[in-house]
Structure 1
Amino acid sequence: MQFSSSLCRGQLIRRYKRFLADVIHPGSSTEAPLTIHCPNTGKMTGCAEPGWTVYFSTSDNQKRKYAHTWELVENRRGDLICVNTGRANPLVAEALAQKRIPSLAQYDDIKAEVRYGNEGSRIDFLLSGGDEPDCYVEVKSVTLLDETAGEPGGQGYFPDTESVRAQKHVRELIDCVHHGHRAVLLFCVLHTGIDRVSPAQHLDPVYAGLVLEALTAGVECQAWKADISPEGMTLIEQLPFAV
C-alpha cells in the first residue's frame, strides 16, 4: 500500500484534544507550529513523545479544516510506527486480495464492513467462495510496545487501554463460531519494533479473558507485521501470538 502523496517530515511538539497535533515543519515559510489532524482516538502510549520525528500527508480537499494528516512517527530507537489507525484495514484488504495471507488465500469474495452479530457490529471483512464456511475477519491495529527490556524488538500488546468496543467484537466472533462459521481475529502490527503479540492483560483483563475464551471456542488469532516506510506499507510476515 503506497501513500497517495509524498509524506512531509516534521518534529512533534505535542498531541492534544485527541485529534490534533502541533509539529515543527522545516519546510514551512513561517516559524509558527503547524497543526495537523491526528487520526487516532487511543492513548497512543509510546507513539507521541515530544521531539520525535513525524511524517504527515497532505490533502487537496479545500473543505478540510486541517489539510495535513499524521501518518507515521519514529521513536527514539528508530522504530517506525503507523499512528493512522485507518490504514490497517486497507493494508489487510490489499494482502487478502493479493493472497499474501496463506490461511485465507482460498477465498475469492471479499466484502468489507458487513453487518453481523447480535450487538450491532460490522465485521471488517467477510470472506467467502472457498470450500470452507464463510470467514469473518476482525482487524485490530497493534502499536503498543513493551519497552521495559530496553532492546530492539519486543512484545506488542492490544489494546493500549480498556476497550469495551474490542470486547464486543470478540464476543461477536465467538458467536460466529457457535453458528458454524469461521472467525479470525487478525492483529495488524504497525510498529517495526514489535516481534510478538499478546492481549494486554495488564490493561484490559476482560478483553484478555475473552480472547482466551475465543481461542478455546475455535476463533483463530493471527498477528501480521507490516514493513513501514514513508513511501508505503506492506504486510510481510506472521508473528507469534500467545495469551
Structure 2
Amino acid sequence: MKFDAPLKHGTLLRRYKRFLADVELESGERVTAHCPNTGGMLGCQKEGSAVVLSHRPSPKRKLDYRWELASDGGQWVGIYSAYANALVEEALAQGAIERFAEAGWSWRREVSVADSRLDFLLAHSESGRQCYVEVKSVTASKEPGVALFPDAVTQRGRRHLEALMALKAEGVDVAMLFVVQRGDCDRIRVAPEFDPDYAKTLAEAIDRGVEVMAVGCDVSPRGISVVRSLPMDVAT
C-alpha cells in the first residue's frame, strides 16, 4: 500500500487531546497534525522522535496534515488504525494471508451483524464457506521482537469478541486478525497488563472456537505491506 498524499518528515513536539500532534518539519515550520489513533500509542509518541506526516490540504478539513508514521527505537510504525483494513484487503487480493490464500474467496467490508459491525465477511465461491473477520491494528512493543495488543483499555474490542462468539455459537466460522504495523516483531502477545478483561475475553473466545491470526508488515515512507504470518501468545 502506497501513501496517497505527499509526505513530510519532522520531529514530534507533543501529542495532546488524543487527536492532535505538534510537529516541527524539516524546514523548521511548526504544524499541528491530526493523530488518527485513539489508542495508548505505547512507544510511538516520544517527544523528539522522528515522524512522517502526509499533506492533505482541503477546505473540508480543519488540519492540513495527518500523522502517518512514528519512530520507535529506529523502527517505523504505522499509526493510522484504519490502514489495517486496507492492508488486509490488499493482502487478500494478493493471496498473502495463508488462511484465505486458496483461490475462490471473495469478501465484503463493514458488515452489520446484530448490534455490531464487523470488518469483513469472506465467502468461498465453490464450497460456500463463509467467515466473518474482525481486524485490529497493532502498534505497541515494549519487548524486543514482541508486539502487544491492546496497549489501553478497549471496551469496543471486547464487544467485537462477544459478537464473534455469538456468531460462532450459531455455527458460523469467525476469526480475529491482528495486523502488526511494524517490521521489528516476530510474534504478538495479548497484554493483560493494559486490559485484563480483554485478555480474558480473548482467551474465552479462543476456547469457544474463534480463530485468531496475526500478520506482520514492512513499514517505511515508501509504503506498508503485509509480508508474514506471526504466532500469537494468548496466555493470561
Q: Same fold (TM over 0.5)?
A: yes
Aligned pair 1:163/2:154, yes or no? Answer: yes
Q: TM-score normalised to the size of structure 1? A: 0.91
For 2:199, the equivalent position in structure 1 comes to 208
For 1:103, the equivalent position in structure 2 comes to 99
SS at match of 1:194: coil
SS at match of 1:167: helix
For 1:37, the equivalent position in structure 2 comes to 34
1:181-231 residue CA offsets vs partner (Å, 9 max, x unmatched): 111100000122322111111111111111111111111111100111101
Point out the more displaced range, 133-142 or 100-109.
100-109
1:12-63 residue CA offsets vs partner (Å, 9 max, x unmatched): 00001111100111225xx5x2111111111211110000000011114222
CA distance in structure 2 between the aligned counterparts of 1:132 and 1:194, rounded to whole angstroms? 35
> Is the contact between residue 133 and residue 180 of structure 1 (CA under 8 Å) also seen in structure 2?
no
> Is the contact between residue 57 and residue 63 of structure 2 (CA under 8 Å) also seen in structure 1?
no
Q: Considering only aligned residues, what root-mean-square deviation do their CA atoms show, in Å? A: 1.4
| Counterpart residue identity of residue 52, structure 2 | Y
> Is the contact between residue 128 and residue 135 of structure 1 (CA under 8 Å) also seen in structure 2?
yes
Report matched runs for 1:142-221 at 5 Å.
Answer: 142-147=138-143, 153-221=144-212
For 1:20, the equivalent position in structure 2 comes to 20
| Counterpart residue identity of residue 24, structure 1 | E
For 2:78, the equivalent position in structure 1 comes to 82
CA distance in structure 2 between the aligned counterparts of 1:59 and 1:6, rounded to whole angstroms? 8
Report matched runs for 1:55-70 at 5 Å.
Answer: 55-70=52-67
Q: TM-score normalised to the size of structure 2? A: 0.93
More strand by share: 2
Give the length in aligned residue pairs: 232
For 1:128, the equivalent position in structure 2 comes to 123
CA distance in structure 2 between the aligned counterparts of 1:218 and 1:105, rounded to whole angstroms? 21
- CA shift for structure 1 position 142: 0.8
Structure 1 stretches of 4+ with a deviation exceeding 3 A read: none
